[in-house]
Amino acid sequence: MSLGLAMLFCPTCANVVTIEKGDGPYRVYCSSCPYVRELRKKISTRVYPKLKEVDDVLGGAAAWENVDSTEERCPQCSHDRAFFMQIQTRSADEPMTTFYKCCNHACGHRWRD
């Protein structure tokens, strides 16, 4: 059984102890000295990292306010016009990525080309 990120140390010699399944419950033992102790409670800790907030790459809802539209069929509702904007998402020697948003306000589907 592994300890994961938590490490337990021997109170006698301060070396790292090992956890193993004994005849009954789990036990910790030190490989440097005769220290052995049975575990009566389950030892576990779970630490969940705080996730970073993700920024909207396209600039949020305001990014679509002053964009042009073109004749592009929406794959969701088949409307024949879509707003578009182009953003350099890769290295400079590759073409720009075109992002589309359906002009049909009831649909509003977004896709990229």
Positions at the binding site for Zn(2+): 10, 13, 30, 33, 74, 77, 102, 107
Query: Among residues 84, 85, 75, 79, which one has the least CA distance to residue 104?
Result: 79
List the binding residues: 10, 13, 30, 33, 74, 77, 102, 107
Phi, psi of 27 (to 5 degrees): -140, 155
Q: Which residues contact 96 (CB under 8 A, 6 or more apart)?
A: 86, 87, 88, 89
